[in-house]
Amino acid sequence: MGKHYVPQFFLQGFTRHGRFLVFDKTKTKWFPSQPKSVANEGDLWSDEIETFVTENIENPANHAIEQLRNRLQLSPQDREALARYIAFLWKRVPANREQFNGNIPEVSERIRAELNLTLKTANQKAVANAYIDKLIAERPPELWQASIRTGFTRDVPGAITNMQWQVLHTDDQLYLASDNPLFFFRSDGIGQPTSEITLPLGSRSALVGHNRSRGGPLHLDASPCHVKEINRRTVSKAMRFIFAEEQLPWMTPFVEKEHQPDKGAFFSNSSST
């Protein structure tokens, strides 16, 4: 079993008796599985990073996730732990790793330009340029792995903590999960007045964070429109795998469809629940 880029405790929320159905977008088919067997890679990162993530990110937030799944309140410490968890959940998945590697050439060229201005000798510049060329060509996994430990250039966890949170619960419908479960509109990012996030927490609960209003209850009942929109967002961000407690007739055409979530539409619905 490899190291999980989506935590097992998170995935357990979408299981029934410890198992769920997985849709593989590359093979366009469903298969039965369990959290320990999916969303992991053997060489994802070192044992040291695994220990760091487990002890500092996952374990402190698991209690908060369980509280929200059960319609309970959060302490300030739970809220901060979950915000940090959410930020790292976005950072650790393959979709983010792909984006990180895609940014290496641009970042490397900026560093090259700075070094060429500051280094004194031709030999120093030649060595630096050769090293940068190697980084661009090889894009070693150690660069992305190191970013897991170094935190964020901006206070992403703080921005998530300061959002208005609402948890939308359903008794008769199902939320889906994916290998890239956190949704936000990239044009708005996380810390802007128009920013909004959605994250399914389990088959029957999902978190919405936004900056458009303050106050109101933490826990709300979801309408069918809420569930559908959150599932649209989750599926739209999935890189390969989608997880469901059970396979229902509507799911296959839904997960195979290309989804374009409506910006801002979800919040207007949730505010009137």
pLDDT digits (tens, 9 = 90+) for 156-204: 999 999 999 999 999 999 999 999 999 999 889 888 999 999 999 999 9
pLDDT band (50, 70, 90) for residue 59: very high
Residues 6+ apart with CB under 8 A from 176: 14, 200, 231, 234, 235, 242, 243, 244, 251, 255
Q: Specify the pLDDT at position 28.
A: 95
Question: Which pTM was predicted?
Answer: 0.89
Q: How far apart are CA 193 and CA 208, in angstroms?
A: 15
Give the Cα separation of 147 and 145 in Å (integer).
5
pLDDT in tens, 64-95: 999 999 999 999 999 999 999 999 999 899 88
What is the DSSP secondary-structure string of 77-142?
Answer: HHHHHHHHHHHHHHHHSHHHHHHHHHHHHHHHHHHHHHHHHH--SHHHHHHHHHHHHHHHHH--HH
Percent of the chain with pLDDT over 70: 94
Question: What is d(CA 239, CA 93) in angstroms, rounded to the nearest whole number?
Answer: 9
Q: What is the pLDDT of residue 151?
A: 61
